[in-house]
Amino acid sequence: MKILIIEDEWIIAHDLKLMLKTLGYNVLCSVDNGQDAVKITEQLKPDIIFMDIKLKGEISGIDAAEVILQRFGKSVIYI
């Protein structure tokens, strides 16, 4: 399973990535804003996305998740 992490607090993203990798999951990368979340989802095609609700930039996590669901049909888990 390929996982994408969208989190603007570096330490949280880093800890989540380490936990998931320890459990054997393939973490593709982490990004810190909604705009990049949409771009990276299109490029890397993750199976699931862990998304922070409040993100840096103009697009919130909720707005980015809506775009991702509509355009790519990907599952998003809010963190």
Specify the pLDDT at position 41.
Answer: 97
Tokens of 27: 């973490």
Tokens of 74: 């990907």
Tokens of 57: 């930039």
Q: What are the distances in angstroms from CA 2 to CA 27, 58, 59, 61?
A: 6, 26, 23, 19
CA distance 21 to 57: 28
**pLDDT tens track for 6-64:** 999 999 999 999 999 999 999 999 999 999 999 999 999 999 999 999 998 899 999 99
CA atoms within 13 A on the CB side of 43: 9
> What is the pTM for the complete model shown?
0.93
